[in-house]
Amino acid sequence: MSSSLANLAPIPELYVSYESAQKMKGEAAQLTSFDLTPRQICDLELLMNGGFNPLKGFLSQEDYDGVVENMRLADGTLWPIPITLDVSEKFADSLEIGQDIALRDQEGVILATMTVTDRWAPDKAREAEKVFGADDSAHPAVNYLHNQAGKIYLGGPVTGIQQPVHYDFRARRDTPNELRAFFRKMGWRRVVAFQTRNPLHRAHQELTFRAAKEAQANLLIHPVVGMTKPGDVDHFTRVRCYEAVLDKYPSSTTSMSLLNLAMRMAGPREAVWHGIIRRNHGCTHMIVGRDHAGPGKNSAGEDFYGPYDAQELFREHQAEIGIEMVDFKHMVYVQERAQYEPADEIADKDDVTILNISGTELRRRLAEGLEIPEWFSFPEVVSELRKTRPPRAKQGFTVFFTGFSGSGKSTIANALMVKLMEMGGRPVTLLDGDIVRKNLSSELGFSKEHRDLNIRRIGYVASEITKNGGIAICAPIAPYATTRRAVREDIEQFGAFIEVHVATSIEECERRDRKGLYKLAREGKIKEFTGISDPYDVPETPELRVETEGTDVDNCAHQVILKLESMGLIAA
């Protein structure tokens, strides 16, 4: 078979036959089970269906070390991203090496079995440094690594029993072999993939048209619907946007398929990974853009990766990846000619009007309900986005007060609630510490673990209120920065999160000691008391800081109202 058609031949999958699968399902009842997280399910699906070919399972320790160090498996094969099964120490301790475990989805349905050949505690700081370029928790994958992933990694081969179930957009999801079969049937020899996690606007359409023309290839729009980064437009909305745009493409040369990938936002390494995954799906070319799969700014406020780092790394490994790169032209709209042109090819730059709307600007216009011009995006796409992202003054949001016990959080929160109720328009819910303790967390004590759990519950309820267009006001102490960040991420999927630091000094709180708690803490009768025997992480960049010493409650609540107005959350 000539190499030009190698992209169309079937590739190995890790699934057993239907008969064996039925038999294994029965036998699996005897095995120790592990319930996978959504991110692990994404990884498992691509392992099983050949999307991660040549991997035969979760990486062994030796393979992991090679991947982290120099993007290669132990046998020298190019592979840039660690694919490991992270578990808790407790679960890892219950296993023997060589043991088979059942991997199940969140409903307990068995998807695969795995033979545990390796078990180790990884050096996560090193993984962050090497794979993501920095051990900086502003990177979503580094934050995940340190604050969500289990402490122990398991490695070993996987035997696939059945695909994870997707109830959404079923006709749009294809395994690598299904896509290869489709390309064979259509007679497509050359296929250029477009990787995206954002809605497509006119510039993207121009760019993909040009890329396909340049490579003389057919076009596969291949958006990621697994996990992207916090704050991205949800995949339901995006797929509806893609479907609206598909009509603008010639159907004989363009197709769309959804990829259930958990992105790591690892920039250059991610681009190489995306290339290997697209090669497995039968593509011959891939578009790599500026700052491909970049996560945005680091802790110092600079971009994590240079704009062309990903293209350079891809170019370097292109032959080995087995896919050709089509580099992204930055497309801008030239008003006089009423068309999109590559920014670097406009000879008469100084004599024409060049228009461009950044992602940030687009979000601002959606948030404020401003016009989005037709030259920028298709009306069908804009109307889908507006359904999910109404103007801010119609969205739900959460105001989250944090500060020492007795700092005045509850008092200001109550005043704010009354002021917002007076304005009307949205239901307002106050999730105050004592109310929550009584109704949601009556069984919890005051250990660090229990206090964290209490805050996560408050965050969960607030995120549901926000999602449904209401206003949630929370007033816990919330001493730990990582917990506050987790709550922020839960809520920002659905609406704005306003952190208000009630910056009353510990001396003042102790002087007030309304509930007599400081006295008890000083006498050692309350253990782990924030500010006395337990730390308080002062918020570094809250949306608002209010000083309560010498300021009356009404004024503090009014400062919050002014902040909400300036953010467009309440109509001025």
Domain end among 103, 129, 160: 160
CATH number at residue 323: 3.40.50.620
Residues 262 and 299 in one domain: yes
Domain boundary among the residues 300, 332, 364 is at: 332
Same domain, 176 and 324: yes
Q: Is residue 469 part of a domain?
A: yes
- 410 and 486 in a single domain? The answer is yes
Are 518 and 484 in a shared domain?
A: yes
Residues 95 and 229 occupy one common structural domain:
no
Select from 416, 399, 403, 417 the least CA-distant residue to 476.
403
Q: Which two tokens stand for residue 562?
A: 């002014």
Please report the sign of the dihedral spanned by the C-alpha atoms of residue 275, residue 125, residue 485, residue 43. positive
Question: Among 126, 160, 194, which residue terminates a domain?
Answer: 160
Q: Is 252 annotated for ligand binding?
A: no
Q: Which of 133, 128, 224 is nearest to 172 (CA)?
A: 224
Among candidate residues 104, 119, 197, 240, the one labeled active-site is 197
Contact 154, 63 (CB under 8 A): no
Q: Measured at the alpha carbon of residue 496, what is the angle toward residues 491 and 499, in degrees to the nearest 5?
A: 85
The verdict on 219 and 244 lying in the same domain is yes
Taking alpha carbons only, the member of 139, 90, 394, 370 closest to residue 267 is 139
Residue 365 domain-assigned?
no
The response to whether 410 counts as a known ligand-binding position is: yes
Identify whether residues 319 and 240 lie together within a single domain. Answer: yes
What is the CATH classification number for the domain harbouring 496? 3.40.50.300
Strand stretches in 335-407, DSSP E: 339-342, 354-355, 397-402
Q: Compute the distance between CA of residue 349 and CA of residue 154 in angstroms, rounded to an integer.
A: 56
The span from the CA of 469 to the CA of 471, in Å, is 7
Q: Does one domain contain both 431 and 554?
A: yes
Neighbours of 420 (CB within 10 A): 22
Q: How many Å is the Cα radius of gyration of the chain?
A: 26
546 within some domain:
yes
Pairing relation of β-strands 544-546 and 496-502?
parallel
Helix, strand and coil content of the chain, in percent to the nearest 5, comes to: 40, 20, 40
Query: Choosing from 196, 228, 454, 466, which is the catalytic residue?
Result: 196
Give CA–CA dist 500/497, Å, rounded. Answer: 10
Residue 2: the pLDDT is 40
Helix (H) / strand (E) element for 472: namely strand 471-475
Nearest CA-CA partner of 121 in 145, 150, 142: 150
Let me know if 197 is a catalytic residue: yes
Residue 380 domain-assigned (yes or no): no
Find the catalytic residue in 117, 198, 298, 414: 198
Is 4 exposed, middle or buried (CB count within 10 Å of its CB: 0-12, 13-18, 19+)?
exposed
Q: Based on the domain organization, do 528 and 417 belong to the same domain?
A: yes
Could you give the C-alpha distances from 78 to 67, 93, 94, 177, in angstroms and in order? 8, 32, 33, 21
Taking the C-alpha atoms of residue 400 and residue 276, their distance in angstroms, rounded to an integer, is 43
Say if residue 3 carries a ligand binding annotation. Answer: no
Instruction: Report the run of H or E that residue 485 belongs to, with start and end.
Output: helix 481-492
403 is in an annotated binding site: yes
Question: How far apart are the C-alpha atoms of 473 and 462, rounded to whole Å?
Answer: 8
301 is in an annotated binding site: no
- 396 with 539, same domain? yes
Contact criterion met (CB below 8 Å) for 227 and 262: yes
Alpha-carbon distances of 69 from 75, 224, 268, 270, 445, rounded to whole Å: 14, 27, 15, 15, 44
Same domain, 18 and 93: yes
- Rounded Cα distance between 192 and 186, Å, is 14
Give the DSSP letter string of 305-356. S-TTHHHHHHHHHHHHHTSEEEEPP-EEEETTTTEEEEGGG-TTGGGS-EE-
For Cα atoms 323, 325, 331, give the angle at the middle one, nearest 5 degrees: 150
Establish if 105 belongs to a structural domain.
yes
- 404 known ligand binder: yes
The parent domain of residue 396 ranges over 392-567
> In the annotation, is 198 catalytic?
yes
Total domains, the chain: 3
> 407 a known binding residue?
yes
- Of 227, 220, 237, nearest to 264 (Cα)? 227
- On whether residue 24 sits in a domain, the answer given is yes
Cα separation of 290 and 218, whole Å?
22
The pLDDT score that the predictor gives to residue 4 is 52
Q: pLDDT means per 10 residues in the chain (572 residues)? A: 66 95 94 96 97 98 98 98 98 97 95 98 97 94 95 98 93 96 95 91 90 92 85 84 89 93 95 97 93 89 92 96 89 92 89 86 82 92 87 91 91 95 93 84 86 92 95 93 92 92 90 84 83 87 91 92 92 76
- Residues 174, 153, single domain; the answer is no
Across 96-166, the runs of DSSP E, i.e. the strands, are: 100-104, 110-115, 118-120, 152-160
Q: Which of 522, 309, 501 lies closest to 412 in space, CA to CA?
A: 501
